[in-house]
Structure 1
């Protein structure tokens, strides 16, 4: 299985440098000058990193053989990938480790299966396919996902009310009672007199 390190973005300058949209927490280890990195689609690579630098909070990279802006623009959208291994960090998991895990509530009720992980600006979101087929994004934060048990094949969720589609079915809409001011004849409930 392959992990996404980054997606190549727009060209920067005129000499083939590109901006990267990172998907790794450790760019210094992944973007080592002289290293070769596979791509998706595979025919776009492998690419050899000739230069890598951090500029105004954004990683910029130059690849061997990419010497001008036109060549850099043609690379836009290419994904840089590496072979996956198992994460050895506590409280850190690769997306492929999470995909397929059973999603259950704290009482053991199975609510679905983890389909993957989406990287959003605020934080990562678990993509859950609920038992009714609904696709739900669950914030991947400890307060809502207190347990990730990869060996046990499960994640435990403690979602706020209404987050899961199964909860939406249980929410009741209050029906107006007769004489509560709701009039089916279209009137506003007044007797038409001015006091």
Structure 2
């Protein structure tokens, strides 16, 4: 099975280094020196990683045969693709490869249908599920334990316990408006501020 593990960004310096947007939880394995990666577009590769290092929080790679900034810039936006055994599992418990999570049905803890996972977005602070709803709209679900309470690969579903407003902001606003209207007849209007639901950033 072929999986996208990174996207090449801009050139760094004049010796052929490039920044990469990592799309794998195991960059030390998938993007190690000596790894040979297919590319999209195919004409850009295959590429063999010669060296890698972290600079200012970003991973820099250098590929064999790419020796100057011009050659590095020509690779910009190229996707790096690794061959992965579909039966292979991550070493850590409760970790998953992107391909295991794609197309899972997403439901709430009370059984309400939310949609299906169409993409996993790897951000510096956390991963996000991009969930396509039945009406074609999208909702973003942080992949943290407090919200994603169960991944059931056998049943092909992800169970979530969303904080107020994550799934349907309009419902939360309407509920708050109704509460304000009901309380308006009993007490003078008063402005107050409460804490927004906090989401785990780990």
Quickly name the TM-score band, shorter chain normalised.
0.7 to 0.9
Runs (4+) off by over 4 Å: 175-178
Number of corresponding residues: 180
Q: Would the alpha carbon gap of residues 162 and 57 (structure 1) be closer, same or farther in structure 2, given more than 3 Å must change? A: closer
For residues 149 and 6 of structure 1, what CA distance do their matches in structure 2 show? 27
> Which residue of structure 2 lines up, in the alignment, with residue 17 of structure 1?
17
Bigger Rg, structure 1 or 2:
1
Contact in 2 for aligned 1:104/1:111 (Cα 8 Å): yes
TM-score (norm 1): 0.80
Alignment-derived partner of residue 97 in structure 1? 100
- Do 1:96 and 1:116's aligned partners in 2 also have CA atoms closer than 8 Å? no
The TM-score, its normalising length taken from structure 2, stands at 0.77
The aligned runs of 1:1-195 (5 Å cut-off) are 1-84=1-84, 85=86, 86-88=88-90, 89-165=92-168, 168-169=170-171, 171-172=174-175, 173-174=177-178
Structure 2: gaps spanning 5 or more residues: 189-202
**More displaced stretch, 48-57 vs 13-22:** 48-57
Deviates more, 1:154-163 or 1:80-89: 80-89
CA distances 1:104-123 after superposition (whole Å, capped 9, x unpaired): 11122222222221122321
More helix per residue: 2
> Any stretches of 5+ residues in structure 1 without a counterpart?
182-195
